[in-house]
Amino acid sequence: MGYYYQDSSLFCEGLKVKDIIERVGQTPFYLYSAGQITANYRAYSESLVGIPSVISYAVKANGNLKILKLLRSLGSWVTLASGNELKLALEAGFEPEQAILNGNGKTLEELRLVIELGAIVNVDSEFDLIHIQRVAGELNTRAKVLIRVNPDIDPEVHPYISTGLLSSKFGVAVNEAVEMVKSLAGMQSVQLLGVHCHLGSNLNNIAVYQRALTVLIELFQIAKEVSDRVRYINLGGGWGIDYHHDNVKVPSPQELIQSIRWMIPKDVTLILEPGRSIVGNAGVLVCRVIGVKDRGDRRFIVVDGSMAELIRPSLYGAYHKAGFVEEVNRDPVRYDIVGPVCESADFLGKDRLLPPPNEGAGVAIFDAGAYGYVMSSNYNGRASPAEYLVYGDQLFQIRKREGFEDHLRLFDEREIL
């Protein structure tokens, strides 16, 4: 729907990506389809009909202001990983009451901001709860909290994006969570609203969600005895997407929701915190071929995008499908797609069967809408890329490319008094 080939040209909604490259001039850049983001959001909202529920988009996946505004217009809440993400969400028009701050190391400053404004806070540890109490006490208010439980369930994903096991740094163990819930009875500074867990990211195993939900429901029942304001079960985010495009079926969010619907008690409002499955397949990193290097035993397509713009392949060994913006009619050869960064870990794809391209050919790295731009860096002096959003046949620039002056601005020398 967002991206498709027609007559050998890659389209983003109604626009040819080749024409977009010509119009904007400079590669690499991120390109997003507003229609695809909307369809992904609706896949959740339509499947949740009949279940009291909240979709709370995880801003960490893609924090572009325009994309946040789009999701707000669709009815989303936001799940945040920092105080700055809260400021961004407010800028996008979200109400603080539609925001949930998560994190294992929230600073007192972040807590002050969030609690003062009335957003929900996920309690990650005993010290976190003490900090929350302290800040709420100072502000003479009641902090609204969910307890983040670590259910000790293996989500069977890359260890860097797995959070459901006790060996991870997140959440409190189930028995500690029970004690914590009980300790909140009658507490002045903290109001318990529910329970939370997040198992990890890029999952597609429905059974592990069912197991986590079982743990959360038990804890929810205990929490109900402590406070009559308890109403939320927050099952976190983590639903995976089809990075491989290879006919191996990845269950959809609809299938996930269908399979847990029967388990949800009547008095529960379910929160889901999807990030990747909302924006992932809506974005591509668009690059151009700088040159092709043939060493006989190994061949490289060198593009102008790199690990600085998209670090997922280097960091997690993640697979992103790559294709030419205009299909090339030559016999395919095995290539590594690499960037110009001075680092052997700088690759966007390995062992890809692709036809030999001409210099300047446009290349799309697919499914880069989540954890792409947000994880980019200035390594090797590279500028953060521009971002563009397509609505039908209209193209909008939604973030400028970073200029050299932007770099220099932060080098302002000042005397420390």
User: Residue 157's Cα: distance from chain center in Å?
Assistant: 16
Find the shortest distance in angstroms from Cβ 168 to ligand LLP: 10
Q: Which residues contact 162 (CB under 8 A, 6 or more apart)?
A: 154, 155, 156, 168, 199, 200
Greatest CA span in the chain, whole angstroms?
A: 73
Instruction: State which H helix or E strand residue 148 sits in.
Output: strand 143-150
Find the shortest distance in angstroms from Cβ 80 to ligand LLP: 9
Q: Which residues contact 30 (CB under 8 A, 6 or more apart)?
A: 283, 284, 285, 286, 309, 368, 369, 372, 373, 385, 386, 387, 388
**Binding footprint of ligand LLP on the chain (CB under 6 A):** 58, 60-61, 79, 102, 161, 198, 201-202, 236-239, 273-277, 312, 316, 370-371
In the residue annotation, 287 being an active-site residue is answered as: no
Distance between CA atoms of residues 288 and 20, nearest Å? 13
Find the shortest distance in angstroms from Cβ 270 to ligand LLP: 14
The answer to whether residues 300 and 338 touch, using CB atoms and an 8 Å cutoff, is yes
The answer to whether residues 199 and 153 touch, using CB atoms and an 8 Å cutoff, is yes
Give 175-205 as a 3 state SS string: HHHHHHHHHCCCCCCEEEEEEECCCECCECC
Residue whose CB is nearest to ligand LLP in the complex, by number = 275
Which of 75/317 has CB closer to ligand LLP? 317
Find the shortest distance in angstroms from Cβ 359 to ligand LLP: 30
Which of 17/78 has CB closer to ligand LLP? 78
Which of 316/391 has CB closer to ligand LLP? 316
Which of 202/376 has CB closer to ligand LLP? 202
Which of 323/372 has CB closer to ligand LLP? 372
Which of 83/274 has CB closer to ligand LLP? 274
Q: What angle do CA 72, 76, 79 make, to 5 degrees?
A: 105
Which of 28/103 has CB closer to ligand LLP? 103
CA distances from 258 to 131, 209, 214, 253, 280 (A): 38, 12, 15, 8, 22
Query: What single-letter amino acid sits at 259?
Result: S
Joined tokens for residue 191: 């109001």
Which of 133/163 has CB closer to ligand LLP? 163
Find the shortest distance in angstroms from Cβ 44 to ligand LLP: 11
Nearest to 370 by CA among 243, 194, 253, 260: 243
Query: Which residue among the candidates 12, 197, 287, 342 is catalytic per the annotation?
Result: 342
What is residue 350's three-state secondary structure?
strand
The answer to whether residues 147 and 219 touch, using CB atoms and an 8 Å cutoff, is yes
Give the start-end residues of each E strand in 208-358. Answer: 232-234, 269-272, 283-294, 299-303, 322-324, 333-338, 347-354
Find the shortest distance in angstroms from Cβ 169 to ligand LLP: 11
CA atoms within 13 A on the CB side of 200: 25
Find the shortest distance in angstroms from Cβ 256 to ligand LLP: 11
Find the shortest distance in angstroms from Cβ 254 to ligand LLP: 15
Joined tokens for residue 387: 């971002």
Distance between CA atoms of residues 70 and 36, nearest Å? 12
Q: Catalogue the active-site residues.
A: 342
